[in-house]
Amino acid sequence: MSTHPSPVDALLREGVSRRNFLKGLLASGAVASFPGGALAAEPYVDTKIPFTGKKSYTTFRNACPRNCYDTCSIKTFVKDGVIQFIEGAKESTFTNGGTCVKGNSYVRRVYSPDRIKYPMMQVGGKGSGTWKRISWDEAMDTIAKKLLAIKKEDGHLLGAALTKYSGNFGITHYGVEGMFSSIGYTTRFAGTPCWPAGIDAQNLDMGAMWCNDPEEMKDSKYIILWGANPAANSVHSMKYIFEAKKKGAKVVVIDPVFTEAASKASEWIQVKVGSDGLLALGMAKIIIDANMHDKEWLAKNTKGYKEFKAYLDTINLRDVAETSGLSLELISQIALEFAKADPATIWSGYGLQRHTNGGSMIRAIDALVAITGNIGKYAGGSRYGHLDTWGFNYHAMSMEKPAGSVGYVGGKRMGEFGHGAAGEEKPDYDDRYLNINKTAREILNSDPKVRLLWVACKNTFAQDFDRNLLIEAFKSLEMVVVVDEFFNETTKWADIVLPVTTQFEEYDVNVSYWHYWLSINEQAIKPLHEAKNDLEIAALLSKKLNALEKGSCTFPEYVDTKQWTAKEFNAGIYEKFGISSWEELKNGPVKAKPVIPYADGKFFTPSGKYEFYSETSKEYGWKALPEYVEVRKPYDKFRLTTPHSRFSLHSQFQNLDWMEEFNAEPFVYINTKDATDKRVETGDIVAVFSKVGLLRVKAKVTDNVPSGTVMMYEQWFNNNIYNVNELVDDTSSDMGAFKTGAPGVALHDAYVNFRKI
């Protein structure tokens, strides 16, 4: 790979609005306080790149690692050491030569003038906006000294906490967890804000979260997209749905919102929020009453069907109709059509389980699919997600604790800190786990106190809840280190920010929780500016810690992402994907050998069967059966629903100028009736307020959302204070503690009011 400095430098200086902005800053003498560091104002450079023929590019294999169903396989075209453009890898039938709108903006992301370029320290204190460029050595020295001071003063490192989630799902990025293990017993924010209630539900029913290959949907005869909107959030799945539809399959979308997917369905059914579980149970009852259930499959493969049937007998279908807002005729029609079709499948979206009764709703839908015998069947299945192709070594996180480390007392004394009373056996230590979905509260109430927080692969302020309490929590911390590509609201409340590489600047490996393809990330370009990858950062910290105090960190002091990527592979992965070496992935992504989940009737539950009746569920304090549970009671006038936008992946991508070109600003979507009541018209600025916060945002009046609900996409815009989590409290969903360590968040059970301003 040849590196030609001038085009890179030229690209880095690009940005006309930036230039003007900087000129203004120079005039005011305020450049030193600008987070990206003092950049000289440079003339705008033309980056328009004519296509110069396939042969003139060096190509690399990459993958999008950003928490998305599609996890696109990418082919990267590089010239003179600069990424010119990307394409989807054609080898993957799923990606099929394309990425999504976000993927197509990657060049701009990598070469964004807004990228964090150097380690920076907020010298004026958190939130001051007064930054100073520091060296990597200085950054590591400051952090290492703080860690050692915490250990010395507290006698342990539980005051050091890590919060990391889905900004980069590449396997080697688990090295961040490895780094925290390598310094001793520390505090980890556990759980996931995304899908825990559904994970638990599927694990209770089937002993795993495991879904059929989405590419099979082309052969499904009946597809229910239940609270799932692949037309915005898994665009590559839509071609299979369209193919099925073309072949005569019926595609039903059940969703309170007229989503992009609903607009392309055969039939759209608007349902009252939170009633989906009851609707599924009502459908199951209708199917059984019509004697259309798969008796043979049920007898052979399930546990507790009799109890489930007895429970269904107590359900009054008139209640189902009233609660869901649908007519009995419609419910019967959909239920019987679904039962008749073979194969039929349901895809449950993640929004469905972001309710106080979310896990129970997924269990009810699983049960509906199960009674029709569509589980274990080609092109059938209750689809939610899978981790079937994630069997890597996780070498990056397998670090031992330094000798003599002290931590939480394990086992039954979990939650109680100490060395154990005199005379007791020497306790086994553990890391401390705090609930990631109550980050603010957990930081403020922690004992021993969280003193240092490390944020990686995560924009806490865009993803966690009750933003105003988060500010208080972050201010209470002695040191906040944020590793990111961009300055955002989380870096605003940081003391030190460290620039991290994109996937084009490091080696890594990626799989999906939806499709069955495996891709690698090759290092296509040299890291820009002073950016380092998460593994290198861990190694640097290790080197510094050991220099200051020998033996204080077990993380290797040198890493090569290529070698570390290779270390993640094992015989099981090779067998599953039919390759003999990871190097084969340089020729393109490969797909796992086809398997139909549960086709052999073997479930991973305690009974080995599909469990309508789950003892485990009972142990966790939930209902043993997939019973109907009422949703959270409203505490304000309007339900707030905060789905994902097609223009962003959580807080990523929307901050790029290219994305702003197509989606310039945020909106609150208000139903026509509610807007009329409140005298709001499209374009008006409204104040949306809840018990936790207030946001001013432009209104769009639309029939796409139901009356009584307002919709605001979860996004982070650059230079815009919009943050929907200003309005969302941290109330938990029912499930999540079983498999992910903490319950999820009932994101869509937040309530607000609004008025025109």
Partner 1 sequence: MQKAFLVDSSICLGCNTCAMACKNQYHQDNGIAWRKVREIGGETYREDQNNFLPTVTWYAKAPQAQMPEERYYFSLACNHCENPACVEVCPAGAQTKDPITGIVKHDQELCIGCKGCVLACPFGASKYNERLGKSEKCSMCWERQDEGLLPACVQSCPTGSIALIDIHDPAYANAGTTDPLGIDYAIGSSTKPSTRFVHPSLPAKMHRL
Q: Which of 208, 262, 528, 541 binds partner 1 (CB under 8 A)?
A: 262
Rule CB under 8 A: is residue 322 a binding residue for partner 1?
A: no
Q: Which of residues 210-249 bind partner 1 (CB under 8 A)?
A: 231-232, 235-236, 238-239, 242
Q: 479-499 burial string, b = 16+ CB within 10 Å, else e?
A: bbbbbbbbbbbbbbbbbbbbb
Q: Which of 580, 664, 679, 757 binds partner 1 (CB under 8 A)?
A: 664
Tell me the three-class secondary structure of 669-687, residue by residue. EEEHHHHHHCCCCCCCEEE
Question: Does 694 contact partner 1 by CB under 8 A?
Answer: no
* Complex with partner 1: residue 253 or 440, whichever CB lies closer: 253
Q: Is 309 in the site for partner 1 (CB under 8 A)?
A: no
Residue 108-127 contact track with partner 1, rule CB under 8 A, x = bound: x-------------------
CB of 108 to partner 1, least distance (A): 8
Name 248's Cβ contacts closer than 8 Å, sequence gap at least 6: 221
Per CB under 8 A, the segment of 148-156, 324-332, 444-452, 537-545 that binds partner 1 is 324-332
Alpha-carbon dihedral angle through residues 434, 499, 103, 490, given to the nearest 10 degrees: 40
Place of tokens 């709703």: 361
Among 59, 93, 104, 718, binds partner 1 (CB under 8 A): 104
Among 32, 703, 755, 756, binds partner 1 (CB under 8 A): 703
DSSP characters for 203-252?
A: HHHHSS-----GGGGGG-SEEEEES--HHHH-GGGHHHHHHHHHTT-EEE
**Of the residues 50, 248, 415, 621, which one makes contact with partner 1 according to CB under 8 A:** 50
Q: How far is the CB of 227 from partner 1 (least distance, A)?
A: 15
Which of 616, 704, 720, 753 is in the footprint of partner 1 by CB under 8 A?
704
685 binds partner 1 (CB under 8 A): no
Binding footprint of partner 1, residue count (CB under 8 A): 68
Q: Quick one: 59 or 476, whose CB is closer to partner 1?
A: 59
Residue 644 interacts with partner 1 (CB under 8 A)?
Answer: no
Please check whether residue 454 is in contact with residue 490, taking contact to mean a CB–CB distance below 8 angstroms.
Answer: no
The residue type at 56: S
644 neighbors 748 (Cβ within 8 angstroms): no
Residue 546 makes contact with partner 1 by CB under 8 A? no
Burial of 27 (0-12, 13-18, 19+ CB in 10 A): exposed
Distance between CA atoms of residues 391 and 518, nearest Å: 12
Q: 558, 604, 635, 662: which one contacts partner 1 (CB under 8 A)?
A: 662
Pick one of 472, 665, 707, 755: the residue that binds partner 1 (CB under 8 A).
707
Name residue 21's beta-bridge partners. none
Q: Which of 518, 388, 387 has the alpha carbon at shortest distance from 73? A: 518
- Binding string, residues 474-513; x marks residues near partner 1 by CB under 8 A: ----------------------------------------
**What DSSP state is assigned to residue 483?**
E
Which of the ranges 190-198, 325-333, 358-366, 629-637 carries the binding residues for partner 1, by CB under 8 A?
325-333
Reported as half-sphere exposure (CB side, CA atoms, 13 A), residue 695 has a value of 27
Rounded distance between C-alpha atoms, residue 578 and residue 572, angstroms: 10
Query: Which structure tokens are listed for 105?
Result: 């903006």
Q: How far apart are CA 690 and CA 674, in angstroms?
A: 17
Which member of 9, 32, 97, 600 binds partner 1 (CB under 8 A)? 97
Least separation in angstroms between CB 106 and partner 1: 8
Spatial separation of the C-alpha atoms in residues 556 and 31, rounded to whole Å: 38
Q: Whose Cβ is closer to partner 1: residue 70's or residue 213's?
A: 70
- Single out the residue of 403, 422, 661, 757 in contact with partner 1 (rule: CB under 8 A): 661
What single string gives the DSSP state of each residue in 516-573? -EEEEE---SPPPTT-B-HHHHHHHHHHHHHHHSTTS--S-S---HHHHHHTT--HHH
**Span of 26-34, 98-106, 538-546, 686-694 interacting with partner 1 by CB under 8 A:** 98-106
Q: Find the binder of partner 1 among 101, 121, 579, 687 (CB under 8 A).
A: 101
> In this chain, which of 66, 75, 151, 272 binds partner 1, going by CB under 8 A?
272
Residues in contact with partner 1 by CB under 8 A are: 16-17, 44, 46-54, 85-88, 96-102, 104-108, 231-232, 235-236, 238-239, 242, 253, 256, 258, 260, 262-272, 325-326, 330, 646-647, 657-659, 661-664, 700, 702-704, 706-707
